[in-house]
Amino acid sequence: MTQPVSEPVKDTRAMISGMAPALDPEIYHFCCVPRGADPQGVSAKALARFCEDEGETLILPEQAAQDAGLVSELPMQRITLMVHSALDGVGLTAAVASVLAEAGIACNMVAAFHHDHAFVPAQDAERALALLKALAGAQT
């Protein structure tokens, strides 16, 4: 999914119309481990890591989660919004979460430097992708 470096997009309508959602075929699991724990060195395999008071959340590819005995009950897939959204852009997350919520699809958003990523239950991933493509098309 590597894309050429582009300028961040801040305009709400432009972010939504240009999001070009792309489905990652990998299955991920949101797993929690005690702070500072790293069972079987699994944190190096994490797509993302976030520290909270209660523990560290690791977003792990399925095989890494299985190898560490950390498989969750909710396998997820990632939809990357390919637009280079500005960190101070407003409305993209709300638009994505709203259209998915209206369809009854759970969504966990993770924002990174270049892109936003929607993690949805694996069984809903294709439907979520279609909804996000329709949302982007409605903004053009």
Write out pLDDT tens, residues 7-60: 899 988 989 999 999 999 999 999 999 888 887 788 899 999 999 999 999 999
Give 80's Cβ-side CA count (13 Å radius).
15
Hey, what domains does the chain have and what are their CATH numbers? Answer: 9-26+75-140 (3.30.2130.10), 28-74 (no CATH)
Least confident of 1-5, 19-23, 30-34, 96-100: 1-5
Average pLDDT over residues 70-79: 94
- pLDDT of 104-129, one tens digit each? 999 999 999 999 999 999 999 999 99
7 exposed, middle or buried (CB, 10 Å; 0-12, 13-18, 19+)? exposed
| Mean pLDDT across 89-98 | 93
138, pLDDT greater than 90: no
Of 39-43, 71-75, 94-98, 107-111, least confident by mean pLDDT is 39-43
Sign of CA dihedral 65, 66, 69, 70: positive
